[in-house]
Amino acid sequence: MEKLVDVTASGLPSSEAGSRLGLSDAIALIVGVVIGAGIFETPALVAANSTSGTTMLLAWLLGGGISVVGALCYAELATAYPHVGGSYYYLKRAFGSATAFLFSWARMSVLQPGSIALLAFVFGDYMSQIWRLGEASPALYAAGAIALLTLVHIGGLQGGKRTQQWLTVATVIGVALIGLLGSLAPSPAAEPVAASSPGTFGLAMVFVLLSYGGWNEAAYISAELQQPRRNMVRSLLWSIGLITALYLLVNVAYLWGLGLERMAASEAIAADLIGQVLGPAGAVLVSLLIALAALGSLNATLLTGARANYALGQDFARFGLLGRWRASSSTPAAAYAVQGAIALALVGLGTLTRNGFETMVDYTAPVFWFFFLLSGLSLLRLRRQPPDAPQPFRVPGYPVTPLLFCLVCGYLLYSSLVYTGLGALVGVGVVALGLPLLRFAR
């Protein structure tokens, strides 16, 4: 039986306090989390809410800028308080253990498993285009991917990070290839575009920022990063810069090859674009690229999610099982197992609704932006406390920068409640169950 072990101030076991993740590992992780299925799903929705191609590209560029603002805020938190619990630890320092517990409960029951199931459904949908396994093919692929990658991570940190590096390389090559092949497509004749209704640019930004989401997961590896003060900032800025360049490249290709109206009407925008260049064989290539991208994000989300569950187990004795660290593999094995089990249950829920991807988006969005807002507010509060690390990175333009970040989070919280359906209410309800659980945990 695994035993609870002594932990350092970073939340890691004392025997595991040596950092093992380098700058390239962190960049691979962040890029892998962010570039998943979003860039293959959301461009059509952004185009439908843009009045011109220029406006659409501006939205993608603005999304990268907003992500940089948020990354600067998280870089200060991660370097001042390097801890394996990430946002859980920041919220605990700023607002107390009750708020931190609710966040950790939300992350364990809604945010991480919901994101994992969402990405697994995307992987299953596109793998089913290559080789179908029957009526339940997407769910079978989704469940298999979750189970297999969970076992890889339980087996050890080295295997998990090597898997992530290869999947990230495949993802970046795939997105760049779509952009380059798309530039070879014949440009369509200019077509009139109906003016969009006032305020739809804001809705376009909701979809843009959904595609950029995930860079904040870097906070959960701050305690395992070599030279965290230097490498945390560099990894975030390099990653977001690379992601922004790739997103602009692929959207320019979409706009060149399809035009704004065809983009807005497309149900499989990448397949439509590559089909113009490679014909029917292009559909198989695109399906494989999207499946690999989703698998890369799934793998990275599994890695970071288990660490917040581990921090919860360290702080609350009734959840002590989650706080067990397997020394032989340098992983929180029990936290991985629980996370995988919840994600598999959500795959079952998505299968029952017959609308897996959309159900998971609704389930996670309001909860995500609510706690993202609290994390931004925690920076404002924690500036008055002495940091854990010497000479942490300081966000430039304080307090305007974090206040701007909080305003964006507040707007997206509002939008995620207005534009989502029943799944959002279910997600909020599951988080509310954390209130009686908090009393039990104490």
Q: Which residues of 254-291 are buried (b: 16+ CB within 10 A; e: fewer)?
A: bbbbbbbbbbbebebbbbbbbbbbbeeebbebbbbbbb
Quick one: how far is CA 278 from the chain centroid? 31
Q: Calculate the alpha carbon distances from 63 to 57, 193, 209, 336 in Å.
A: 10, 23, 6, 32
Q: What are 168's two structure tokens?
A: 């990230």
Given a contact cutoff of 8 angstroms between Cβ atoms, the answer to whether 104 and 308 are in contact is yes
Mean pLDDT, 10 residues at a time, the chain of 442 residues: 44 46 78 72 84 90 91 86 78 90 88 88 84 86 92 73 71 72 60 47 80 74 69 84 90 86 79 75 78 80 74 73 70 84 89 76 85 92 82 86 92 78 80 85 66
Given a contact cutoff of 8 angstroms between Cβ atoms, the answer to whether 376 and 410 are in contact is no
pLDDT, residue 400, reads 93
C-alpha 376/C-alpha 374 separation (Å) is: 5
Largest pairwise CA distance in the chain: 68
List, in sequence order, every beta strand (DSSP E) within 256-323. none
pLDDT, residue 221, reads 66
- Count of other CB atoms within 10 angstroms of residue 224: 23
pLDDT, residue 58, reads 93
* Cβ-Cβ contacts under 8 Å for 417 (sequence gap 6 or more): 366, 424
pLDDT, residue 59, reads 92
Report residue 152: phi and psi, to 5°. Answer: -60, -45
Q: Where are the domains of the chain?
A: 19-387+395-441
C-alpha 108/C-alpha 105 separation (Å) is: 5
| Residues, the chain | 442
Radius of gyration of the chain (CA): 21
Please give the angle made by the CA atoms of 354, 355 and 358, to the nearest 5 degrees: 165
Q: What is the DSSP string of 111-172?
A: IHHHHHHHHHHHHHHHHHHHS--STTHHHHHHHHHHHHHHHHHHH-HHHHHHHHHHHHHHHH
Q: Calculate the alpha carbon distances from 208 to 202, 240, 248, 320 in Å.
A: 10, 13, 11, 39
Given a contact cutoff of 8 angstroms between Cβ atoms, the answer to whether 370 and 111 are in contact is no
3-class SS at 21? strand
Q: Does the 19-387+395-441 domain belong in CATH 1.20.1740.10?
A: yes
Sign of the CA dihedral 97, 344, 369, 77?
A: positive
Q: What are 293's two structure tokens?
A: 């991208």
SS (H, E, C) 36-101: CCHHHHCHHHHHHCCCCHHHHHHHHHHHHHHHHHHHHHHHHHHHHCCCCCCHHHHHHHHHCHHHHH
Q: What are 323's two structure tokens?
A: 């706080």
Report residue 186: phi and psi, to 5°. Answer: -65, 135
Given a contact cutoff of 8 angstroms between Cβ atoms, the answer to whether 270 and 129 are in contact is no
| Residue bearing tokens 């090597």 | 162
